[in-house]
Amino acid sequence: MNTLNNKQKILLLSIIICIFNIFVFTISFYYLFSNNNKDIITYKDEIFNISFNKKIYYVGINETIDININNPDNINYSLITDNSNLISIDGNKITGLKSGKTNLVIVLPNSKVITSIIYIVKGLVASPQEFNYNKPYLSCNYFSNDENKLIDNTLKDRINDVGYKTRAAVIEAARFLTLNFDFRIHYFYENGRLNNFSGKEYVDGEGRYYHKGLFLSESKFDSLVASLYGPTSWGCPLTNITKAHGYGYYVGKKYPNGLDCSGFVSWALYNAGFDVKDTGAGDSPRNDDLYDLGEKNIITDELLNSKKVKVGDLIAYNGHMAIIVGIDKEHYYVSETLPGLKGLVTKKYTKEKLKNTFTHIMLMDSVYKKDGNLTNMWY
């Protein structure tokens, strides 16, 4: 019988190894993509020092995020998805196409796979360069309890990414609700608030919402501690008790629930980790409102030219409070809600218009203490 020479042995061994790798690769993919009852997640391969930096990523429609791969050894790999209808991939960047859930997969040279989960979140979009005044108002019960939870998880994840209890976290919360969220939140005069100041009603979630996450579904009702005419989530009809005929609000009539100005600012601060209590806004001798946070300054050219003003600082006039969420060479971008603005917006101001509209800026370094992953603009 003829025996194999060394070259033939090497060739045969190579063929056997190749067939084995194909078999392992096929079995791995079958196991990964056919097991729909489990979230199969591997953080790190046993042989190669490579991993995702998260087990779950969240992305909005048409939003692009960078997937940071921990790859200190510069290992060659491929990044793929099991559903190209939901996300597209360009290098390490993924873009959400439509809402759903998919696996993102690192394929390694030994045919093993490392997976992470991608949620493409309903109701979230890529941040526009300027606020979209044409986007629809939030309607009643548009989101399910599960969808509300997913949006809340996305907000929490993004706040943690920039640094919980930092200046950047406050900006992230404000930008998230005004820019990433694909619906406008209605203005609603407060029916009262939780600190029950000056004898007003002790009320939770009626024109204000001092809780973590967004008030989008009935799943949030259990967390409310006091109701007057609610509970109704944002966008659902709620009886108004404030007389404001000049703005079209009448006592006893129903309007879509939403946020008043200080309610929005308090919500953003609370979600970022700063518990300032459910407090209002007013230039008064009292020491119990948002005007008393940080270092209060009258707005002047000198102040605006001093470079002391940062994104995340609060800006106000008597009875109104807002957050500066963007600064570029020519403009200040302010997230705020008023009846005249017809709900929550991020509005662009020139320096002159800013001075003519607002009276005070609260410099917030003493409150935030840390900047976190701070950006002057969101794009």
Domain borders along the chain are 14-125, 155-368
pLDDT at 218: 96
Q: Give pLDDT tens digits for 8-30.
A: 655 665 665 555 454 444 444 44
Average pLDDT over residues 242-260: 93
Mean pLDDT of the chain: 89
Choosing among 3.40.50.720, 3.10.105.10, 3.40.630.30, 3.90.1720.10, the CATH entry for 155-368 is 3.90.1720.10
Q: Give pLDDT tens digits for 116-152.
A: 999 999 999 999 999 999 999 999 999 999 999 999 9
pLDDT at 285: 64
Topology match between the domains 14-125 and 155-368: no
Q: Give pLDDT tens digits for 342-355.
A: 999 999 999 999 99
Closest by CA to 267, choosing from 191, 183, 194, is 194
Average pLDDT over residues 195-202: 71
Average pLDDT over residues 265-290: 87
Q: How confident is the model at residue 283 (pLDDT cuts 50, 70, 90)?
A: confident
CATH number, domain 14-125? 2.60.40.1080
Average pLDDT over residues 36-65: 74
CB 187 within 8 A of CB 249: no
E strand segments, the chain: 51-52, 56-61, 64-66, 69-70, 78-81, 87-90, 93-96, 100-107, 113-125, 237-239, 254-256, 295-298, 314-317, 320-327, 331-338, 343-350, 360-363
Average pLDDT over residues 57-84: 94
The angle formed by the CA atoms of residues 132, 362 and 287, to the nearest 5 degrees, is: 120
